[in-house]
Every structure is written in structure tokens, then in C-alpha cells.
Amino acid sequence: KVIIDCDVGVDDAQAIMIALSQDSIEILAITTVTGNQNTEQATNNTLKVLDYCGERNIPVYKGITEGLTGRCDFVELSAYHGQDGLGDAQGLREPDRTPLKDKHAVLAMIDLVKANPGEASIWNKISILALAPLTNLAIAGRLDPTFLTNVKAVHMMGGNKHAVGNHLVTAEFNFGADPEAAHIVLNEFKCNMSLITWEFTLENPMTWAWFDEYAAVNTTKGRFIYNITRHTFENGGPYITCDPFTVAVVARPDIITKSKMVYLTVELDGRITRGQVVVDWRGVMGKPPNVLLIENVDMSKFKRMMLDSVDAPRTIGGSRRSNYY
């Protein structure tokens, strides 16, 4: 049982589609927050993803519209996500808005977690797949302290392990966009946590040769993915995806080939390093490990999950990218 908390851009869309394709995951709700896009656009993008996947029964809740302090200096991400978050794809239909609910995302999170306390079995508890700035989670924890302990696990995409930034000099986007929220989650939540870092995605890029297979799948979902990702390959550069890894390791922990329990936190005060994750590799701080740091996965199994998410047959071929390179 999971809640997906996201700021739907292209990789969030891919992550949601993986979750929908995996029998091991039951999505109870999708919540949105400002990040790659403002909350309104992220919510509309979420509805589009669900619509193209033929999913009408998962509720969507709109969340927080800014970081805890309002100090966020967002970077330009349009080269990857486009201005609208879905690659500025032309011709996408307006989504069915039936899944969108009136309740605020933070209150929905709190209520869902309360309704699934896991008293009979830990399997009844809810995990959160956090693919965006952690503002919704931090506020939920502050509004209801039982939320901190009743959540089964928080699985995050964000942060960094060697100070490689994509937001500021040493900060990754999701943590750098709201460092205070990340600090609250890392230091106050009393549940299992795992992290896919920015460096992990840099170390595990997807080749364009493989992308040709992925983007050539001639299904409704495959054509949707092609339309929202073509902006990325038209702009050149390596094909890097982030959020799908977080969903994949939750759906299939067996794809994890290397991981390490560590204590990590986030810098709040540094003039240059604000938002940077600090990993206590040698235990100098004397604090117990709080996060499972995912370091490697079986990429062949991960790629198969990506293909399954667009209903690809087991043998596929062709290329839609050849006209551009």
C-alpha cells in the first residue's frame, strides 16, 4: 500500500506508470506538491498520466504550493521536462478530472495513514514514495505527530551522497528546493527510509539505443511516453531518469544489488552548501543509521520494468528516434 507524492514531470510520469504495472504495489492515492512544476500543473499532469493509463479509481489530492520558508531558488528544468512538465507534448487530450478530490493532500495523507495503522499486520501500513520536495510530508508530520511513526516507510528520490548538485552547486533539486522539509523527514520520522540519490542516476544512465526500444512501443501507453519524452532527445544529452528507480526498488527489492545503511542529514545554513546532503560515512557523529542508501541495481531487470510499464511485448524493435540523430 503506497501513497505517491510527486511534482509530475516526465520521470514522475514514468514512475507512476511503473507503479501501476506492478502487482506488488497498491496505490491508495497520489498527492502533488510544487517542484518540477507548480502544484496546479503537477496535478493536471498527474491526471493526464492516469487518463492515458486508463486509471480512474486512484484519488488525486493537490498539496502545498511553496517550500516551508519560501527561500527556494528553483533551477530551470525545461530542457528535460518542457515548460509544462510533460515535454510540451502536442495533442494530449484534456484528462478526466474525476480522480481529483477536494481534500488537501496533507490532510489526505494523515487520514489514510490513520486508517491503515497496521495494528493487525505491518503489511496494512502505508509506505510513501516521495518523488518531489518533501514539503507535504514534513507538514503532515508536524500537524499529526502520530504520522511520524504510523507510516511504514518513506522511499525517496532526492539528495546526493558526494555533494554533486543539480539545483545549486552542491544540492540536488528535491532536497535543495525545501531543505527544511528534508531535514524534518530525515531527522523526525520514525520509520524505515530509503534513498535514490542524484549521483545514483548519473551512474546509471539509460542508453539512447535502449531508449529507441522503449519509445518505439506501439501501445497507448507507449505512444504517450514517446510524446512526452521526445523533447528530451531532441535537446540532446544523456538519457537520465530519476524517479522510476525509487518505485522500482520498492516494487521489486530483489533488483537492489548494493546498498548501505547510513546516517544522513541535510545542511540548512551553508551559504553555498544549503540543501546538500551530509552522509556520515564513518560514524563520526555517533548517530544510528537512518536511511538505506541504494547504490546499485540490476539494470536489465529495471529496464524490463520500464518496458512492462508501457505494455511492451517481450520482443520489440524499431526506432522512433532515428529521424533526429
Residue 318: inside a domain: no
Residue 149: inside a domain: yes
Tens-digit pLDDT profile for residues 64-87? 999 998 755 555 455 555 667 686
Residue 224: inside a domain: yes
Residue 317: inside a domain: no
Residue 289: inside a domain: yes
Give the range among 20-29, 145-154, 232-241, 296-305 with minimum mean pLDDT. Answer: 232-241
pLDDT at residue number 168: 81
- The domain in which residue 262 lies consists of 2-310
Residue 182: inside a domain: yes
Dihedral angle at the C-alpha atoms of 37, 98, 226, 15, nearest 10 degrees? 60
Residue 240: inside a domain: yes
Strands 153-157 and 27-32: unpaired
Please report, in angstroms and rounded to a whole number, the separation of the first and last CA atoms in the chain.
Answer: 42
Indicate which residues carry an active-site annotation.
7
Give the residue with greater pLDDT, 216 vs 154. 154
Tens-digit pLDDT profile for residues 97-123? 999 999 999 999 999 999 988 665 666
User: What is the mean pLDDT of the segment spanning 16-27?
Assistant: 97
Residue 325: inside a domain: no
- Cell triple for 277: 546532503
Q: In Å, how far are 30, 44, 212, 316 from 319, measured between CA atoms?
A: 32, 30, 5, 10
The residues that bridge with 128 in the sheet, in sequence order, are 3, 154
| Number of domain units in the chain | 1
Residue 299 belongs to a domain with what CATH number? 3.90.245.10
pLDDT at residue number 91: 78
- pLDDT at position 324 over 60: no
User: What is the mean pLDDT of the segment spanning 248-276?
Assistant: 96
When the pLDDT of each residue in the chain is averaged and rounded to a whole number, the result is 89
pLDDT at residue number 321: 37
Q: What percent of the chain has pLDDT over 70?
A: 87
The pairs formed by 118-127 with CB atoms below 8 angstroms and a separation of 24 or more are: 118/150, 118/152, 122/152, 123/1, 124/1, 125/1, 125/150, 125/151, 125/152, 126/1, 126/2, 126/3, 126/28, 126/151, 126/152, 127/1, 127/2, 127/3, 127/151, 127/152, 127/153, 127/154, 127/155, 127/250
- pLDDT at position 269 over 50: yes
Tens-digit pLDDT profile for residues 289-314? 999 999 999 999 999 999 999 988 86
Q: Which amino acid is at 287?
A: K
pTM: 0.92
CA 132 to the chain's CA centroid? 6
